[in-house]
Structure formats: C-alpha cells, structure tokens
Structure 1
C-alpha cells in the first residue's frame, strides 16, 4: 500500500461483512433467530469482554476518545459488532450503546447530499452499518438515512470513469479497498430492501476484475503487487455476487488457501475482518480451519480490559477483531451465504 493510501487509512479504518445459515434477520419486535451451531466458549468469552470494553469506553455522544474513534465508519464497526452478537438491540444489555452509535452516525450525515463523514471509507462502512441495523433496530430515521447514503454512493460511481470508487465522492480514479467496501455496503442495502441497480454491481465488479492477476491475486489499483488482504476483499465481492462458479473465483480461493498462516503486520485487524468473511463464503471447511487459528491468535492478544490494540483506535481494532469472530454467531443479515 502506498503512502497516500496509508494516510487515507489513518483518516478512518477499514474492513465489511457476511455469513451463513437460515435468514438471521430479526424483525423489529426483537425476535431472535435460533442458533443452529454451538458457539465456542472461547469465542463467547472474548466477545463479551470486547463488547464490555466498547460499551464502557464509549462517550455519551457515541464516539471514543482518540481521533479515529470519532470517525463514523469506526462507530459503524462498533454498532455492527453489537448487532452481530444477537442481543435485542432495542431493549437488551447493549441498547444504549446501539442508540449512541446510531445517533452519532446519523449526526455525521450531510442532510443534503447523504454523505457520511469525510472519506468514502467512512461513508461505506457507516452505510453498511445502517443497512445491517435497518429492520433490526426500531428507529424511523434509519430508512431515509440509508436511502440517502446509497444515493450518494451511486452518484459517486457514476462520476467515476473506472466504475469504482476512491477517497472522495468526486474521485475519478479508484482502488480495490474503497471499491470493495462500497460493493459490500450496496449488497447489504439491497438485502435490506433498498433498490440498487444491477449496473452498479456490474461496473464495480468489472473494476475489481481489473485489479486481479492471472493467479487470482488482487492488487491495489491494478493486478501488480497482489496481496492477501486485497484478494480476500475481491473474493468476498464475488461471493456476494453469486459468482463462485467463475474460474477467477477458484483461482483467488487457491491464492488464499496458500496463505492461511499469513498475518498482515501493517493492518492486522483489517486483514482478519476480510479474511474471515472471504473464507466463510468460499469454503466452510477452510473457514473452520482459519477460524480455529484466528481464535487462538485473538485469544492470545486480547488485553485484560477486553480490547485489542494496534497502531489505530482501540475502538477500531476491538470492533474489527470481534467482527472477524462474528461469523460464529451469524446474526448479521449480510452474514448469509
């Protein structure tokens, strides 16, 4: 990742979701789905500690102390990590945290344009969080806000000659990280009932394909310099597009399988977030192998206060770590095969 892209990551932070089983979406009465598999005790223990940290560290306005903890995209990650655990978001133990997260995200949306925050990373992940909350949380503000956010995403793509997205709504170039983020948020919005034209997915996926080499690896702005994290993002978008029979999907999965022991030293939680989703959608047996390793890794690195630490906000690293484990619960609507 070049210096400019790293700086953009610092403005926010990263990562967006998916999983399997019967439709886990709750209705607004808070009716819970039934888990069909037992969640490992270690996962539940880590998850509860992580949620406790996020709940206790959150300020009344929904943000966190550090600069990145005031980015709406990161607050979106925190919101999704709560929703992914399966508690009633309207009256359960984290209802206050849910309400604060939503209030904060909505307060950062431009009432005219629908843009959330100041980067397309923030906008994409905040849009994803609204899409996941829609139909799960009783709040009449979510639907209109989500519609405006989706409209902004689609308008930004129309302005971009590549068919993808980058840092700002008026960008004319693109990269695989920002584009992958927007594609996932649009699939989540469509799942929530918001109309998204097929053309938007087709153009976005075409751009992603331009970043893929003949061995299935994805680069940042083109096929050169393929990376495991970027390949996980690309693979995930193909899974959501129901293109798993495509030969390119199989080559990308082969690329990921060769790197099950890989750890991204620069963006570890960004990597874990996407890798877990990509493998879950691609091959359940491979995901189980990865999930076991991820449980051990996160179990050894969780701080006594329940957080995970990185060079970025502990709110970001903790929520992203939890979301990499959330496929064990499979409650988020986007976590459907």
Structure 2
C-alpha cells in the first residue's frame, strides 16, 4: 500500500503538495467540494464563451452523470460493477469480481471527470478523482507494474495506465510517474509474437479489442515522456493493418477490422472492432489512408495492401447500432450485444473526431456523428443521471461503466484529455 498519496488537497489557491490522504471535512458524501463553482468546470477553464443551447443541454447531462458517479463511489475510492468477459457471443460475469471494486471501471470513471476539467487538485469533483486515483495506485504490483484486483485483466490494466498518463501530464507528480513507468513497461513486456495482446499477459493469441486499449495507453505514456520503443509500436501497427478487410464478407461492407487474425475462418468484423481498429492506427500515428508494404509469412513474397480508412468510416456509419437495429431510443432500451455498445461508441467518437482533420468530408462526417451522439445519448439517460447497459448493469442506481463512457464520449470535443487530441 502506498504510504503517501499524490496530492494534499489544495485548500488555498495554487497550493499543491504530496502528503497523507486526508479528506476535507468540507466534502459531502457525494464526493463534491461545495466550495467549488457550480457547474463542474472551473470558470477559468471554460473553452467556449458562447455555448449553444445544445451545448448547454449536453453539459447539463454530463454534470448529472458525474454527480451520479460521485454518489455511487465507494468509501475506498473505487467504483463497483460486476464486469465480466465476453464468451463467444455472450457475456459472462467474472465470479472473482462479483460485487467487488473494479480497477478498470474506476479508471474510466476518473477519466470521465478529467474529460470535464476536474483533476485531483482542482474542480468540483477533485476529491472523487483523487480518491479513485489512490485506489488504483494501491492496486499496483510494485515489482511488475501490473495493475489488477479481483481477477481483472489486460483491459483494466490498460485503462489504468491511460489514466496515470493523463494525470501525470496534468500534475507532473513523481509518484504517478513511477507507477506509470512500471505499468507501461508491463504492457511492452506483455506484447506477443503477433505484435499485439490478449486478455491475459503474454497469451499466445491476440485480438483487436485488447490491442487498441494497450496502444492507446502506450501513446498516452509516450505523450508525457515515458519511453516506448518504436519497435513495439511498429509491431502493433502491423498487426492492426493485417486485421483490415479490403473486401466485404457478404454481410458487412469493406473497411472493417477483424477480431482475431488467428480466426480468419470467422473474421467477425463489427462496428465496435472497426472503431477500435481505426483508433489503434491513429494511436500508432496513422491518421489517413495509406499503402502498406509487407512480407508474406507464408510465401516470403513482398506484398502491398491499401488501408483505406475512408471505407472504415463508411462502415461505421452504416453499422451504427441505433441505425442498424432501429426502433425507439429510451433509457430502458436494451441494444443487441450491448456489451460492445458503449465500447464501440467510445472508439467511434474518437475516430470521427480525428477524421475531421483530414479535410472537408471528414469534418462533415464528424459534425454529423457528434450531432447524432448528442441526440441519441441524451435520450438514453435516466432521470438520476445514469446510463445503463449489460456490462455495468441495467439498474440505474448502480451503473458506473455506461455512465462514465457516455460522459467521456460527450466531452471528447472539449479537448481536456491529450489522448483525444490530434
């Protein structure tokens, strides 16, 4: 256990120190600092002096979501959701983590606060962020850098690493940096012969959904000065490129990304995997369509493959879950294969946000995608501020995962998190 926490809470403006965790008597049970300005984001970091009526509705929805998250935070700083594992086309709760804190969900919740301008030492919800951060650091194996609790796996480790990188970029705290370096090294050392990752460290197979999480964590770490070998990034980039489908499969259009290379008999390209594939390439520095030259592992021949990301964005537009399934949108609506619903939208929003910088067509695509996100997601929000899904559960009084994801997605345009920026 850490003997020191990152931050002594700044009760005087501009004061930041490292000390023992002490919750201020001013904090109420919601995790909110009543002395902070109402509205969740300090007035000096507001980005748009003239927000539109739509902007204000989104801001209100996000604030309701963040207040819900603050209300259900545990005393140890964690958030609890019965996270499980995808098993084929089904979703299976992890029995080791049933009713227990989840480090991955805790990291995502902290990210949701960061994305709204709250940090461990500033903002209305700074106490919630600081407590969540301390919980995660208490779960670090100091020898290996592995971040896990109650059976969590590489997904959760990568989100924790991403959080540490974003917090370090904001605070330059040496304790955070030490844990970030260890967590980053663990990801690098866990890369397998395919150039990617799987649920368990050093597992002898890979998949796109885990790969994108690790790549984004590595990018965030590199952004703040942590050493990430170029060979690690190049190997992962090649894995993602190999997963790109230049042709459709009879059901889905071209431009998708496969779940696993090892399962080319069942490619399983989906909305969420394709969004993940695009963001994985963006995290590795590839923001546009390009031709890839590589050597065939079977024949030894030099081959070329065109990675047309424009087709990937058309794919995402056609297979957007709400459009594909149809029907009314409401807080209680349960989407098919909903374990991938928020995960897919989390990466799709990032992908389209970056796409806007490619030119007029990309900018139009982002504006429309973000507009649809705002309309649909606000229809999905429960009255108490929560969003629900299969992963976090359909009880709006308990769901942290979907709520945090929705808040993150809606705040991507705000630009507070460097990993979401171009």
Report the 3-state secondary structure (helix = DSSP H, G, I; strand = E; otherwise coil) of the residue aligned with 1:218: coil
Q: Deviations over 1:184-220 (max 9, x none)?
A: 1100111111111111111111111222111221111
Aligned to 2:155: 121
Residue 265 of structure 1 pairs with residue 308 of structure 2: no
CA distance in 1, matches of 2:238, 2:185: 20
The match for 1:236 among 279, 288, 292 is 279
Q: Deviations over 1:145-180 (max 9, x none)?
A: 0000000000001xx111100011121210000011
Change (3 A) 1:47 1:162: same
Change (3 A) 1:132 1:262: farther
Q: Deviations over 1:3-56 (max 9, x none)?
A: xxxxxxxxxxxxxxxxxxxxxxxxx89996562584711210111000000011
8 A contact 1:32–1:86 mirrored in 2: no
Aligned to 1:186: 218
Give the unaligned 5+ runs of structure 2: 1-15, 18-41, 84-99, 247-253, 291-305, 326-334, 356-361, 393-398
CA distance in 1, matches of 2:370, 2:230: 33
Residue 136 of structure 1 pairs with residue 175 of structure 2: no
Aligned to 1:310: 389
CA distance in 2, matches of 1:107, 1:265: 36
Q: TM-score, normalization: structure 1? A: 0.85
The structure with the greater share of residues assigned to strand is 2
Aligned to 1:253: 313
Aligned to 2:299: none
CA distance in 2, matches of 1:110, 1:31: 38
Residue 321 of structure 1 pairs with residue 406 of structure 2: yes
Residue 274 of structure 1 pairs with residue 354 of structure 2: no
Aligned to 1:150: 184
The match for 2:62 among 43, 47, 63 is 47
Q: TM-score, normalization: structure 2? A: 0.69
User: What's the RMSD between the two structures over aligned residues?
Assistant: 2.2
Change (3 A) 1:226 1:99: same
- Cα deviation, residue 108, structure 1: 1.2
Aligned to 1:10: none
8 A contact 2:119–2:167 mirrored in 1: no
- Cα deviation, residue 293, structure 1: 1.2
Q: Figure out how many residues of one structure are paired with residues of the other and give that number.
A: 308
Give the unaligned 5+ runs of structure 1: 1-27
- Cα deviation, residue 324, structure 1: 1.2
- Cα deviation, residue 301, structure 1: 1.3
Change (3 A) 1:93 1:33: closer
Aligned to 1:166: 198
Q: Deviations over 1:200-248 (max 9, x none)?
A: 1111111112221112211110362211111111111222333214241
Aligned to 2:113: 82
8 A contact 1:90–1:138 mirrored in 2: no
- Cα deviation, residue 294, structure 1: 1.2
